[in-house]
Amino acid sequence: MKHIKYLLIAILLLPISVFAYEIKCEDKGIYGYEDTFSCVLKGNSGVTYESISGELEKNSTSVLSCEIEKLDNGLEIMSSEDNQGTSFSLSGTLNSEDIVKYNCKVATKPSMSQQEQLVIPELKYDISDDNKTETTEVIRSNAVRIQEYIETPTGDTKPRDTSNPNSRAKEIKINNDSSIFTFSSFKTIYDIELKYEVSDIELFIVPNNENATYEVKGNTQLEIGMNVIDVYIISPDETSKTCYTLNIKRLKRGEDIYYPEKDSSLSDLKVDGYTINFESVINEYRVHLTYDVDSLKVVATPKESGSIVEISNTSNLHNGSVIEINVTSQDGSNKSTYYIKITKDSPPKDYRNLIYGGAIVVAIVVVIIIIIITNTRNKNNPLIKGKNKKEDKNVPPVQPVVQEQPVAPEQLPTPIVETPSTPQPVVPPTPEVPATPAPTPMPQVEVQQPVQPEGTIPPQQ
């Protein structure tokens, strides 16, 4: 507990600083060609910097152009070569939260609606007296929505030039409601839908030059169907005029308004090599794959070009995999998800181990059969049998070992003296020896004494 107490005291005595940075871009809805807006790099006021530097970048498809408009008055320029265009290198004490303010513009004509993001990939800063070395962070802005540029229709004789700021409109609203459509000073034609219940409208018009005048041509009492209203902005010297056209469609009873910027549906969905019979109102499809296919190429086309499409889980497919196609509307208010469910054949079974094992067993059986047949043939072969018998005959017979028993003199018979005759030796019969004699204990054999002729005196022992 004592060590923990000292540790807590040490932590409390350590200097702790939290520096939060962000790029905050002005959000007025969807910006069109040549629209301007501001973006600000924000930090913590009262912080003193030994140095702080960075450069603003745009993503690869950007149509934006930005320049430094203003620096915090407590920061000083470290080098005259810096602070040009989008880069800065400063030092000093930050008096406000706005370190650098950028003026940005949609500088090229967007071919499609999209979202842009500004980035400082290496914001480097060194805080005075914080006992730290230089720190580097990546700072990203919020999304900036850009509207597709639409060329003026051929044959339109109405003045559409928006290059003169004195004849541009700053704002046009229907019934003082900016949510009905998104206005841009540089977009002059709008297609608008209103429900059947809206039969009369009021226009709110603000010229870019407060001394400019405007003129409205068209009927604000709406009929069912298309109603065309032209708003002309006239410069103070009346030398320039710009026409903004509102094509207002009043829907039939019961029809719903279609908002392109809120549409999160697909107009087409394709799976390379497969047919899925796509319909925009159906969100779930099935694709059957063979066992050797583990990835698919999916192409999803949003109904509105400014919608964002994200496709996931198209690789490492197995039976039961689900490919997801997420579609987010231009304004981010709606999101739709389409599913492609995967069924897949099981891979063929591998019988190689069984085949190898069976082959080994068969080989073993064949070897055993060959051995049995060979032994059988050898037993039945007369040459081999004769050879075996011949070898058996050459084996000498086993002669029994005879042990003589001593005989007492009184047991000897009385000798009878006769004319001696030549004794005939007694030849014992040759015993039959089996081919393979079994070992037997040595028998006690009584030896037949040779017959002495009568009158012969037995030898002395």
Tens of pLDDT, residues 96-108: 999 999 998 888 8
Residue 48, pLDDT above cutoff 70: yes
Whether the pLDDT of residue 17 is over 50: the answer is: no
- DSSP for 385-438, please give it: HHHHHHHHHTSPPPPPP--PPP--GGGSPPP-B----PPPPP-PPPPPPPSSPP
CATH number of the domain located at residue range(s) 261-344 in this protein: 2.60.40.2340
pLDDT at 422 over 60: no
Contacts of 27 (CB under 8 A, 6+ apart): 142, 144
The mean-pLDDT minimum among 15-29, 182-196, 341-355, 411-425 falls in 411-425
Residue 3 tokens read as 């060590």
Answer yes or no: is pLDDT of 458 > 90.
no
Query: What is the per-residue pLDDT across 143-182, written as a single tens digit (0 to 9) for each?
Result: 888 887 777 666 778 999 888 999 999 999 999 998 888 8
Among the listed ranges 72-76, 344-348, 373-377, 428-432, which one has the minimum average pLDDT value? 428-432
The CATH code of domain 165-250 reads 2.60.40
Structure confidence by residue, pLDDT tens digits, 28-43:
778 888 888 899 999 9
Hunting for tokens 């599913």 — which residue is that?
339
On whether the CB atoms of residues 149 and 162 are closer than 8 A, the answer is no
d(CA 263, CA 223): 26
% of the chain with per-residue pLDDT over 70: 74
Which tokens sit at 456? 């012969």
Instruction: Write out the H or E segment, with its range, that includes residue 344.
Output: strand 335-344
Of the candidates 198, 305, 197, the one whose C-alpha atom is nearest the C-alpha of residue 260 is 305
The residue written with tokens 């004509």 in the block is 109
CA nearest to 451, candidates 433, 430, 426, 417: 426
Cut 0.75: pTM above it: no
| Predicted pLDDT at 13 | 42
- Looking at the chain, which residues constitute the CATH 2.60.40.2340 domain(s)? 261-344
Q: 185 near 172, Cβ under 8 Å?
A: no
Mind listing the pLDDT tens digit for each residue in 270-294?
999 898 889 888 999 999 999 888 8
Report pLDDT digits (tens) over 348-375.
776 777 788 888 988 898 899 988 888 8
CATH classification for the domain delimited by 20-146, as one of 3.40.50, 2.20.25, 2.60.120, 2.60.40: 2.60.40
Considering the chain, what is the average pLDDT of its residues?
80
With both helix axes pointing from N to C terminus, report the angle between 352-380 and 382-393 in degrees, rounded to the nearest 10.
Answer: 50
- What integer pLDDT is reported at residue 123 of this predicted model? 92
CA atoms within 13 A on the CB side of 12: 6
Percent of the chain with pLDDT over 90: 34
CB under 8 A, 24+ apart: contacts of 274-280? 276/340
Q: Supply the pLDDT for residue 224.
A: 92
